Amino acid sequence: MADAPITQDLVTLPRTLPQEGRANLVGLTRPQLHAALIAAGTPEKQAKMRTGQVWQWLYHWGLRDFAAMTNLSKAYRALLAEHFTIEVPEVVSRSVSADGTRKYLLRIAGGHEVEAVYIPEDGRGTLCISSQVGCTLTCSFCHTGTQRLVRNLTPGEIVGQVMVARDDLGEWPERGAPRVETRLVSNIVLMGMGEPLYNFENVRDAMQVVMDSEGLSLSRRRITLSTSGIVPEIARTAEEIGCLLAVSFHATTDDVRDTLVPINRKWNIAALLEALRAYPRLSNSERITFEYVMLKGVNDSDADARRLVQLIAGIPAKINLIPFNEWPGAPYERSDPERIEAFADIVHKAGYASPIRTPRGEDIMAACGQLKSASERARKGRRAAAE
């Protein structure tokens, strides 16, 4: 196979997008919010207290209107409104699957679209969020990887996905009610569109906001970042975010992984495993998740399963087997259920948890690897129709 391009036309945008000269507060870290309030005229002596107050309105109460921030003076509320906005991505559409999975199509600055998916489970749920519009990588089995246009999401657009889901689920606490932690969005996975480690700073800052205990307050153990294997950023993930890690492994030889996950040509299996072995805090309670998509006749043999457990020997790990989710024109097929079971059995007997991921939201194209913005799908469809 010819070398696939691994970088495309990536657009870098300012970290907060000023609208009518006003800066969006959503997605600023605490120190950034502090600095922004001072720059807008907050006396330095008050800045720490004001930062705490505004923070709670934004991330604990989910407020979008400065006028309703009742513990601030009217004059100060006016000052805030003059300098800042509180903006989250616009919900273009919401699809609800027969199994309760909700997919949000969101519009962000520049008219771009990204998707976020909420997967409910026993009164709690996991929100799968995107880190980029599209992806610069071109994994051959992934629909997102076929999208041409790519740009990094800002921290505000990443945090905004969590806020939009909480809006939709009605999860902000009632004002004045006792502080009961409803937790419909109990976990976050960075497994939507994009490669999070190619947008490291913005993802890190967004997760700092999400983890802050006076706001959205999700602990680092409830956040899982999935990477295709951007080796130099793996150690930084541990140091600067501290969340759990999932790795899109998908193959047990460099030949096969080069085709499935082309970034393997830059950082091969040996290099990736070395970085994973060094990932701190590894213990049986904080294992690395190895994601392994089951592709018929490509990576699903007994020999693959045996090689897999040999390769990861010594790494506290669980292996998440993902039946391939098909998309129109995909060059692969899903492995048969018996094959997946046999593979899981070998992995399980070697001492690893090997859950087979039940595809969720397939009827609304919300499953892993199916995300691709609707406008991009439509554009492709039109092009295909014209040919």
Catalytic residues: 115, 368
Secondary element (H or E) of residue 347: helix 337-349
Beta bridge partners of 103: 95, 117
Options 126, 136, 152, 248; binder of ligand SAH; rule CB under 6 A: 248
Q: Which spans of this chain sit near ligand SF4 (rule: CB under 6 A)?
A: 135, 137-139, 142, 144-145, 194-195, 228, 248
What's the chain's Rg over C-alpha atoms? 22
Of 35 and 256, nearer to ligand SAH (C-beta) is 256
The distance of closest approach from Cβ of residue 350 to ligand SF4 in the complex, given in angstroms and rounded to an integer, is 25
By beta-carbon proximity to ligand SAH, the closer residue of 215 and 361 is 361
Q: Give yes or no for a contact between 364 and 95, defined as CB atoms under 8 angstroms apart.
A: yes
Name the residue nearer to ligand SF4 (CB basis): 215 or 323: 323
Min dist CB 4 to ligand SF4, Å, is: 10
Q: Per-residue x/- mask for ligand SAH, residues 114 to 153, rule CB under 6 A? A: ---------------------x---x-xx-----------
Q: Identity (one letter) of the amino acid at 64?
A: R
Q: Cβ(106)–Cβ(93) under 8 Å? A: no
Residue nearer to ligand SF4 on the CB measure, 138 or 186:
138
Cα–Cα distance measured from residue 149 to residue 205, given in angstroms and rounded to the nearest whole number: 24
User: Segment 190-209, which members bind ligand SAH (CB under 6 A)?
Assistant: 191, 195
Q: Which stretch binds ligand SAH (CB under 6 A): 42-50, 82-90, 226-234, 372-380?
A: 226-234
Q: Closest distance between ligand SAH and the C-beta of residue 23, in Å?
A: 29
d(CA 135, CA 110): 17
Collapse the DSSP code of 267 into the 3-class scheme (helix H, G, I; strand E, B; otherwise coil) and give the result: coil
Closer to ligand SF4 at the Cβ: 114 or 137? Answer: 137
Question: What CA–CA distance (Å, rounded) separates 136 from 133?
Answer: 9
The yes or no reply on residue 226 touching ligand SAH (CB under 6 A) is yes
Binding span for ligand SAH by CB under 6 A among 37-45, 82-90, 322-330, 336-344: 322-330
- Nearest approach in angstroms of CB 80 to ligand SAH is 36
Binder to ligand SAH among 108, 185, 322, 344 (CB under 6 A)? 322
Q: How many CB atoms sit inside 10 A of residue 280's CB? A: 10
Map tokens 């602990």 to a residue. Answer: 219
Q: Are strands 132-133 and 244-248 parallel, antiparallel or unpaired?
A: unpaired
CA distance to 40, 101, 326, per residue, from 323 (Å): 52, 18, 9
Q: Where are the beta strands (DSSP E) in the chain?
A: 10-11, 23-24, 84-85, 90-96, 102-108, 112-121, 124-128, 132-133, 150-152, 187-190, 223-227, 244-248, 288-294, 317-323
x/- track of binding to ligand SAH for residues 291-310 (CB under 6 A): x-x-----------------
Q: Give the residue with the Cβ less far from ligand SF4, 260 or 317.
A: 260
Residue nearest to ligand SAH (CB): 369
Smallest gap from Cβ 187 to ligand SAH, in A, equals 15
Instruction: Tell me if 210 sits within 8 A of 251, measured CB to CB.
Output: no
Residues near ligand SAH (CB under 6 A): 135, 139, 141-142, 191, 195, 226-228, 248, 291, 293, 322, 324-325, 368-369
